[in-house]
Amino acid sequence: MRIIPAIDIINGQCVRLTEGDFSQQKTYDSNPVEVAKRFEGEGITHLHLVDLDGARARKPVNLAVLEAIAKATNLDIDFGGGIQSQEAIEQAFSAGAGHITAGSIAVREPETVTQWLAKYGEERIFIGADFRDNTISINAWADQSDITVANFVSDYLAKGASTFICTDVSKDGKLQGPATETYTNLVKTYPEAQIIASGGVTTIQDLEELEAAGLFGAIIGKAIYEGTITLLELKRFVC
């Protein structure tokens, strides 16, 4: 199972939110480049980088942070937040992203994202399947659609997607455990999908259960910053 630490950026700083609520923000480090270098120094090879300012602005804002991390490390970076146009994709790739995550736009403009999948390939375009109460969340998690997460994954598999970052918004940043049952059902129903669990991962046991369920990857955020999972503990997953 791929271990993917998360760095969320607001005003160039490494922060975490709770349930995507910008009023529940905690800053962990003023230098995200050094955070990324620490991850790499402990054997981490992948990074989930989220431009929270970009998510609100609907265009990338923190490309300089992406570029700095890409230059300072060899991490395989997937970048999300504000990816609403082909121009934004090109900017992200030029700045060093290996992949981009299409979130709200995948709900609002499926034809556009289908074109991106055809142009750039399914290995470079990840689909962000953010959900609450089993339906897809959009617009920086402020709104709910009527699309179930299962139908969303199914539709995008048919459109050529393969990798899905599935974030349970209700658990994100709470350190209360992930939606393992939901992820397990997705893996069983769509074995051809590469499901990456995100939101609520709190302990090594959580990771063991996700790995046993067949998850392709797991994103870990606050658990690392709060110390409920240490980088040392992650070594057995990444080595």
At 234, is the secondary structure helix, strand, or coil?
helix
- Determine the residue type at 84: Q
Q: Looking at 51, 53, 78, 130, which residue is catalytic?
A: 130
What's the angle, vertex CA 138, arms to CA 65 and CA 78, rounded to 5? 30
How far does the chain reach from its first CA to its final CA, in angstroms? 11
Is 78 labeled as catalytic in the residue annotation? no
Nearest of 9, 24, 1 to residue 175 by alpha carbon: 24
8 is an active site residue: yes
Structure token digits, residue 90: 């090109």
Paired with 76 in beta bridges are 46
- Residue 125's identity, in one-letter code, is I
How many other C-beta atoms can be found within 10 angstroms of the C-beta atom of residue 239?
7
Residue among 8, 51, 53, 168 flagged as catalytic: 8
Burial (CB count within 10 angstroms: exposed 0-12, middle 13-18, buried 19+), residue 107: buried
CA atoms of 217 and 165, how far apart (whole Å) = 9
- Of 134, 164, 163, 144, nearest to 20 by C-alpha is 144
Tell me how crowded residue 26 is: count the other CB atoms within 10 A of its CB: 13
Annotated active-site positions, please?
8, 130
